[in-house]
Amino acid sequence: MNNYDLAKSYIRQAEERIKHAKEALNEGNYPYTVRQCQEAVELLLKAALRYIGVEPPKLHDVGKRGINSPHGSKRR
């Protein structure tokens, strides 16, 4: 898949999140509405980066945050 196709895929996924956000809003489920909107924005940003040929950074590496620690998650 090339960058253009990947960008289109991210846009389709974002459109789906927006659809779910509208449904949740109509049902009064505001936390889910916000979550779906956040995901839509993230997907659209990834689409824009892919479109211009930039690999979106992968920042959700929970291992570096101590989740895999033998003593459980780190406390701050």
Q: What is the pLDDT of residues 49-63, one digit of tens each?
A: 999 999 877 776 545
Cα distances from 46 to residues 14, 24, 53, in angstroms, run 10, 24, 10
In a domain, 28, yes or no: yes
In a domain, 63, yes or no: no
Q: What is the pLDDT of residues 10-53, one digit of tens each?
A: 999 999 999 999 999 999 999 999 999 999 999 999 999 999 99
Structural domain for 48, as ranges: 3-55
In a domain, 38, yes or no: yes
In a domain, 17, yes or no: yes
Domain count for the chain:
1
Cα distances from 17 to residues 6, 14, 34, 60, 71, in angstroms, run 17, 5, 10, 20, 36
In a domain, 71, yes or no: no
In a domain, 70, yes or no: no
Give the per-residue pLDDT at 76. 44
